[in-house]
Amino acid sequence: MEKYAANISSIREAQARIKSLAHTTPVLSSESLNAMSGRQLYFKCECFQKGGAFKFRGACNAVFSLDDNDAAKGVVTHSSGNHAAALSLAAKLRGIPAYIVIPKNAPQCKVDNVMRYGGQVIWCEASLQSRQEVANKVVKETGGILIHPYNDGRIMSGQGTISLELLEQAPLIDTIIVPISGGGLISGVALAAKSINPAIRILAAEPRGANDTAQSKAAGRIITLPETETIADGLRAFLGDKTWPVVRDLVDDVIVVEDNETVEAMKLAFEILKVVLEPSGAIGLAAVLSDTFKKNPAWKDCRNIGIIFSGGNVDLGILWDSFRK
Amino acid sequence: MEKYAANISSIREAQARIKSLAHTTPVLSSESLNAMSGRQLYFKCECFQKGGAFKFRGACNAVFSLDDNDAAKGVVTHSSGNHAAALSLAAKLRGIPAYIVIPKNAPQCKVDNVMRYGGQVIWCEASLQSRQEVANKVVKETGGILIHPYNDGRIMSGQGTISLELLEQAPLIDTIIVPISGGGLISGVALAAKSINPAIRILAAEPRGANDTAQSKAAGRIITLPETETIADGLRAFLGDKTWPVVRDLVDDVIVVEDNETVEAMKLAFEILKVVLEPSGAIGLAAVLSDTFKKNPAWKDCRNIGIIFSGGNVDLGILWDSFRK
């Protein structure tokens, strides 16, 4: 797997680098949800990670990979929020500045997280183009190092540490369902898991209104969409040139999920598991409970399924509103 | 400690009995909450226990302690909800009936839990007297064994298994803060913890509107109240003759908490930890963050504090309403 931007060695190095800084997150299970799905489910709770999402793993690995000269000028990124908060926290732990370009439509709780961790917020428009332009400008002005939210081997390696932990916590796992957006999480998870056990199936969960991965896999090349529409605000990004080859080669299928299924999954997580999930965080549970998955004969022998609960940064008011619709 | 209804041996026996049936719940931590409290906090997440509360430990120990003849007739209890659901589930696992007397004002989600686990609901009035009368009637009619929610050595022993786990997961702990109602939880926790390390401080957290424990400790005898008023619906019961001696002897102090502090703690658990807590479940966090605790010189050397998150059965609508007040 040497042709990719990350590999099992870089992921093990990341694990050693971030071990004392990141939480080892617990794996929960529920007989009620096992019964509903007809499988054994293992929920890897990255919502309990520092900053409330898996993003801290990659950000921490990236920030602590920098040599002292590079680090001193600080780090820069653009993000819908969870990577931003994670990078702010990692930078704070290293004692360097973090410059965060955030689109104006980001959820308030994610912006609050950035500020709580001492990140310096620079606003931009909601478009990917505006994000990138503003971020490039900040890089020029500060000399800071741009840490892309996902299209970066250090980020992919950090996220891959989830698989190392998960497969130790639940060694029977034969399948992992992972939310997909830009592909940083799933590429790290896939590289680590398939390196440990090539038979493990890696399935992406993607919202109908941002199903660029399903389209990309069908087309055999990166497809971007003119616009996206989904409640899962963390899943609107498109694949990058470093994540795409891994997604192309190692992701076994993409499960496309409706937003109402994602809301129902958030509700089940709240009521049965007592876990707070943002929509992006709940989409894996939605996927495993969907007819799309249950009725697909290709996946009927997936028995022990790891599901990545990727994050829990959701405003209670928004959660309540979405439950009542 | 042989004079009490439970002891370290009965608690270790309970652990062996319920090990394969109950979840080993995770311990979470948060640097944000450590900073707010000025201590190292270890949150023992019994909200993730089966049935959404610690109660399953005691119920499971009681049900699986019965000999086959006694068990066959089923079990009976009266409860505001979490013990009821727990007993229903334990009975279901043993394949025996559970007859559950529930007051009409119990939260809907707790009643739903009883029904989900196959318990047979028998309604009563909200008073303790009505609960007991109806429960006695059911015992007569069915021949079932009454399993009291807390005033029972088997229940106390089951709850005590929390300490065995917690002190293995977080060996540095010098203090444990425990919600108190009838005393089943805290008596088990105290007996196990002090048996392992007599220097560990056990502090009860109690709502102002149901502060019968603080009054009982001051009076040196069980005090009951003509009425109670608190958002913490799980903390309205009074001490029993089996729990009181342990509370009298082994509980080092009672921290009385205002309902608004408890609501704020629920909010912090939601926003920072991504954990759903019912009011009773959050009162320990409220206690450690209260001025009552922080400013008490007696507790200034409590550095590593275990906090029992006792349960998470709360309706989202009720949670949202309480946050907006």
Tell me which chain A residue has its CA closest to the CA of residue B274.
Answer: A276
Using the Cβ of A271 and the Cβ atoms of chain B, whether some distance falls under 8 Å is answered with: yes
The pLDDT value recorded for residue A204 is 98
Q: How far is B199 from chain A (nearest CA, A)?
A: 29
Q: What is the pLDDT of chain A when averaged over all its residues? A: 95
The pLDDT value recorded for residue A1 is 47
**Residue A273's pLDDT band (boundaries 50, 70, 90)?**
very high
With an 8 Å Cβ cutoff, are A275 and B271 in contact? no
Q: Which CATH class is domain A56-146?
A: alpha beta
Which tens digit of pLDDT belongs to each residue from B132-159? 899 999 999 999 999 999 999 999 999 9
The type of residue at B74 is G
**Residue B1 in this model has a pLDDT that exceeds 50:** no
CB distance A99 to A76 below 8 Å: yes
Tell me which chain B residue has its CA closest to the CA of residue A116.
Answer: B32
- Which residues on A lie below 8 Å from B275 (Cβ)? 48, 274-276
**Residue A2's pLDDT band (boundaries 50, 70, 90)?**
low
* Whole-number Cα distances in Å, A253 to A195, A216, A242: 18, 11, 19
**Residue B168 in this model has a pLDDT that exceeds 70:** yes
Q: Any idea which of A71-85, A197-211, B49-63, B101-115 has the lowest mean pLDDT?
A: B101-115
Q: Kindly compute the dihedral angle of the four CA atoms of residues A56, A58, A63, A67, in this order, to the nearest 10 degrees.
A: 160
Chain A to chain B, count of Cβ pairs less than 8 Å apart?
57
The pLDDT value recorded for residue B126 is 84
With an 8 Å Cβ cutoff, are A276 and B277 in contact? no
Minimum-distance CB partner of B274 among A31, A271, A276: A276
Using the Cβ of A277 and the Cβ atoms of chain B, whether some distance falls under 8 Å is answered with: yes
Using the Cβ of A87 and the Cβ atoms of chain B, whether some distance falls under 8 Å is answered with: no
DSSP label at residue B119: P
By percentage, how much of chain B surpasses pLDDT 90? 87
The pLDDT value recorded for residue B2 is 57
- Which residues on B lie below 8 Å from A319 (Cβ)? 316
Q: Which residue has the tokens 């741009």?
A: A146
Using the Cβ of A64 and the Cβ atoms of chain B, whether some distance falls under 8 Å is answered with: no
Task: State CA B223 to chain mean position distance.
Answer: 19
Cα–Cα distance, A30 to A40 (Å, whole number): 9
- Which residues on A lie below 8 Å from B114 (Cβ)? none
Q: How far is A2 from chain B (nearest CA, A)?
A: 37
Which tens digit of pLDDT belongs to each residue from B15-45? 999 999 999 999 999 999 999 999 999 999 9
Minimum-distance CB partner of B52 among A26, A274, A320: A274
**Residue A80 in this model has a pLDDT that exceeds 80:** no
How is chain A split into domains, by residue range?
Answer: 8-54+153-324, 56-146
Minimum-distance CB partner of B274 among A29, A48, A317: A48
**Residue A42 in this model has a pLDDT that exceeds 50:** yes
Minimum-distance CB partner of A320 among B47, B274, B320: B320
Q: Among residues B55, B110, B194, B242, which one is catalytic?
A: B55
Q: Which residue has the tokens 């049900």?
A: B63
Return the higher-pLDDT residue of A81 and B305.
Answer: B305
* B8-54+153-324 and B56-146 in the same fold: yes
**Residue A277 in this model has a pLDDT that exceeds 70:** yes
Q: Any idea which of A6-10, A43-47, A149-153, B81-85 has the lowest mean pLDDT?
A: B81-85
Segment holding B305, helix H or strand E: strand B304-309
CATH fold label, A8-54+153-324: Rossmann fold (3.40.50)
Cα–Cα distance, B24 to A131 (Å, whole number): 44
Q: How far is A139 from chain B (nearest CA, A)?
A: 30
Distance in Å from the first CA to the final CA of chain A: 45
- Which residues on A lie below 8 Å from B270 (Cβ)? 276, 316
Cα–Cα distance, B25 to B294 (Å, whole number): 28
Cα torsion angle, B45, B51, B55, B57, sign: negative
With an 8 Å Cβ cutoff, are B275 and A277 in contact? no
By percentage, how much of chain A surpasses pLDDT 70? 99
With an 8 Å Cβ cutoff, are B274 and A273 in contact? no
Q: Which residue has the tokens 């939210």?
A: A149
Tell me which chain B residue has its CA closest to the CA of residue A117.
Answer: B32
Which tens digit of pLDDT belongs to each residue from A139-174? 999 999 999 999 999 999 999 999 999 999 999 999
- Which residues on A lie below 8 Å from B109 (Cβ)? 271
Please work out, in degrees rounded to the nearest 5, the angle formed at the alpha carbon of residue A109 by the alpha carbons of A255 and B233: 95
Using the Cβ of A107 and the Cβ atoms of chain B, whether some distance falls under 8 Å is answered with: no
CB distance B18 to B90 below 8 Å: no
CB distance A145 to A237 below 8 Å: no
Minimum-distance CB partner of B270 among A23, A272, A276: A276
Q: What is the ipTM of this complex?
A: 0.93
Q: How far is B155 from chain A (nearest CA, A)?
A: 23
Using the Cβ of A274 and the Cβ atoms of chain B, whether some distance falls under 8 Å is answered with: yes
- Which residues on B lie below 8 Å from A52 (Cβ)? 272, 274
Tell me which chain A residue has its CA closest to the CA of residue B310.
Answer: A274
With an 8 Å Cβ cutoff, are A26 and B26 in contact? yes
Q: Any idea which of A15-24, A96-105, A108-117, A262-271 has the lowest mean pLDDT?
A: A108-117
Q: Which of A29, A108, A110, A274 to mutate to test the interface with B (most CBs of B within 10 A)?
A: A274
Cα–Cα distance, B171 to B48 (Å, whole number): 21
**Residue A316's pLDDT band (boundaries 50, 70, 90)?**
confident
Contacts of A150 (CB under 8 A, 6+ apart): A58, A83, A156, A181, A182, A183, A184, A185, A237, A240, A243
Q: Which residue has the tokens 């007569």?
A: B140
Using the Cβ of A273 and the Cβ atoms of chain B, whether some distance falls under 8 Å is answered with: yes
Using the Cβ of A3 and the Cβ atoms of chain B, whether some distance falls under 8 Å is answered with: no
Q: How crowded is the C-beta side of B199, counted as CA atoms within 13 Å?
A: 8
Q: Among residues B10, B80, B195, B310, which one is catalytic?
A: B80
Q: What is the pLDDT of chain B when averaged over all its residues? A: 95
DSSP label at residue A203: E
Q: Any idea which of A17-26, A94-103, B93-102, B315-324 has the lowest mean pLDDT?
A: B315-324
What backbone torsions phi and psi does residue B106 show, to the nearest 5 degrees? -70, 145
The pLDDT value recorded for residue B219 is 98
Using the Cβ of B123 and the Cβ atoms of chain A, whether some distance falls under 8 Å is answered with: no
Which tens digit of pLDDT belongs to each residue from B62-121? 999 999 999 999 999 987 678 999 999 999 999 999 999 988 888 787 788 899 899 999
Q: How far is A29 from chain B (nearest CA, A)?
A: 9
With an 8 Å Cβ cutoff, are B50 and A28 in contact? no
**Residue A125 in this model has a pLDDT that exceeds 50:** yes
Between positions 11 and 40 of B, the ones with CB within 8 A of A are: 23, 26, 28-29, 31-32
* Residue-by-residue DSSP string for B165-203: HHHHH-TT--EEEEE-SSSHHHHHHHHHHHHH-TT-EEE
